[in-house]
Amino acid sequence: MVLESAVDLVDLLDLKMPPAWVNEPAEAGRYSHIEGEERTRRDERPPHERRSKGKRPTSKGEKGKRAGERLHGKKRDRYLHRGQDRQVSAPIAPPPIIVRFLPHPLALENVVAQIKENSVAYSLFALARLFLEKPARYDVRLTAPAELPLLQVGEDGAVSVDRQFLERNAFRLAQSDFYKIDITQSEPIKGNFSNVARCKLSGTLLGPTNHHDYQKRLRSLYEQRFSRRMNFADYQRQIEILTDPQLVERWKEDARKLTTFTTLREDTPATFASAGEAERHFRESYLPGLIRSTQELTIDGVASRSLSDRVLHRLIEGEWASATRSPSGMMQELGAQFRQAGLYVFRHRRGMLFVSPIRVRAFIAGTAMSPSIKAIMESVSSAPGIGRKELADKLIVDLAGEEAERAKLALAADLRWLVSEGYVVEFNDGSLDLPRGKAKAVVEAAVPAANEPPEQAEIAQPAMSLVDAEIGGS
């Protein structure tokens, strides 16, 4: 499938998400509607099944009525069984096709570039939901079993699991790839017409029944769209006659349009004056070798929202709704792509996953550090989620004028060094926290000078796995 050239990535370039430790609001009860439905079902029972809570009938007339109802018990039972047959229907099982959602390359490229431009960490959970939010940001990969392959018209045409469906609709779905379609206007239609015929199934205006072109248009529409569903006599019952003057005028305008189809893939182009003639040529010349089968197929998200195959459309829609609620699959895809792009994925509070351009690491207990660095570390440790302003208000007290400005500059330099070295994590919402856990290798850090960032040896950090990640709400 071909993606539109202009992809809407405006909000992807502005990654603003809530703090990682803020819980999402609890979902409303998914089954809160059942009580109301049960009450409605009770009210919809046949009248003879409803019993009042009053006294039982005792009069002779009422007893006779009850006896008459017993005589017609078999008929009543048949009515009840028919009602049950209408209400109980076997659910249609979805096809055994695996659906995966992948980040669209252009969207992923933009997000990776933005993450690398900053020194902040982003929630992988929130990013996965952000990718799934709009179809232009993800692709859909379908994997089918060998016994039920995917079928596609050409290399990038319509997709289905039903060959008959594709054969019936191939011309409608792929006509622009094989024919140049030209629409011209003829002379205005003359004559007074008081009614117009319309197809109730498609809404197509066929013209007055006494018009010379009516039977031709009726037969053409039937052969193109409904000949495989019903016979012609049944289709004729779906035609209604309307006397609305506006519909008559609209038909006159539509009837002036002449559509021609010219072949695009032949050395000597051929032109057909109607869709019926073009479709016959299409079925004879192109259709036999056009439909191909495959076990795996990737389509873009925009195309997945408008699939003609209703079975595949419902399947993808259901999987998308499930992935939006719990985007673990998209998180795995993003984590792997981020690592290949040189970014780092790490766990933080409650085991949640984050991505950052900086490898986070923890100071080892007993490591020598300057008083200013120690003050920052202790303040962030005692107040996880503290912001830069709150940190400055906490550490810079009883100072004014130039002395306060110098203290702010020194604090900013120390904090910048801590964040760039991974000893303090700054999240995209501006909050600060220390990395989770301890580093394996014990390396003593050098003490930074007043305004000079020190050289710090690399501390080994174990690689994180997205497969066994504990995904929490973000």
Domains and CATH numbers, the chain: 91-149+295-359 (no CATH), 163-288 (no CATH), 362-458 (1.10.10)
Query: Stretch 420-435: mean pLDDT, rounded?
Result: 89
Query: Stretch 326-338: mean pLDDT, rounded?
Result: 94
Nearest CA-CA partner of 413 in 442, 372, 443, 377:
372
List, in sequence order, every residue forming a beta bridge with 433; answer none if it has no partner. Answer: 425
Nearest CA-CA partner of 355 in 184, 201, 125, 63:
125
Q: Which residues have a Cβ under 8 Å from the Cβ of 364 and sit 6 or more positions away?
A: 438, 439, 442, 443, 444, 459
User: What was the pLDDT predicted at 309?
Assistant: 87
Phi then psi for residue 256, to 5 deg, are -75, -20
Q: Which residues have a Cβ under 8 Å from the Cβ of 305 and sit 6 or more positions away?
A: 135
Phi then psi for residue 299, to 5 deg, are -125, 155
pLDDT at 140 over 90: yes
Distance CA 381, CA 425 (A): 11
Tell me the per-residue pLDDT of 118-133, one tens digit each, with 9 for 90 and over.
889 999 999 999 999 9
pLDDT at 373 over 50: yes
Q: Using the structure block, give the residue that is written with the tokens 């100072």.
A: 399
Nearest CA-CA partner of 372 in 350, 351, 391, 349:
391
pLDDT at 463 over 70: no
pLDDT at 464 over 50: no
Q: Are 379 and 394 in contact (CB under 8 A)?
A: yes
| Structure confidence at residue 39 as a pLDDT band (50, 70, 90) | very low
Residues in the chain: 474
Q: In what order do the strands lie in the sheet with 257-263?
A: 179-185, 257-263, 271-272
List, in sequence order, every residue forming a beta bridge with 259; answer none if it has no partner. Answer: 183
User: What was the pLDDT predicted at 262?
Assistant: 94
Distance CA 71, CA 61 (A): 16
Tell me the per-residue pLDDT of 153-163, one tens digit each, with 9 for 90 and over.
988 888 998 88
**Rg of the chain over all Cα atoms, to the nearest angstrom:** 35
List, in sequence order, every residue forming a beta bridge with 300; answer none if it has no partner. Answer: 139
> In Å, how far from its chain's centre is CA 436?
33
Q: Are 144 and 95 in contact (CB under 8 A)?
A: yes
Q: Using the structure block, give the residue that is written with the tokens 């819980």.
A: 23
pLDDT at 11 over 60: no
Tell me the per-residue pLDDT of 103-115, one tens digit each, with 9 for 90 and over.
999 999 999 999 9
Share of the chain above pLDDT 90, in %: 29
User: What was the pLDDT predicted at 88?
Assistant: 47
| Structure confidence at residue 66 as a pLDDT band (50, 70, 90) | low
Tell me the per-residue pLDDT of 393-412, one tens digit each, with 9 for 90 and over.
888 887 778 888 888 898 88
Q: Are 184 and 271 in contact (CB under 8 A)?
A: no
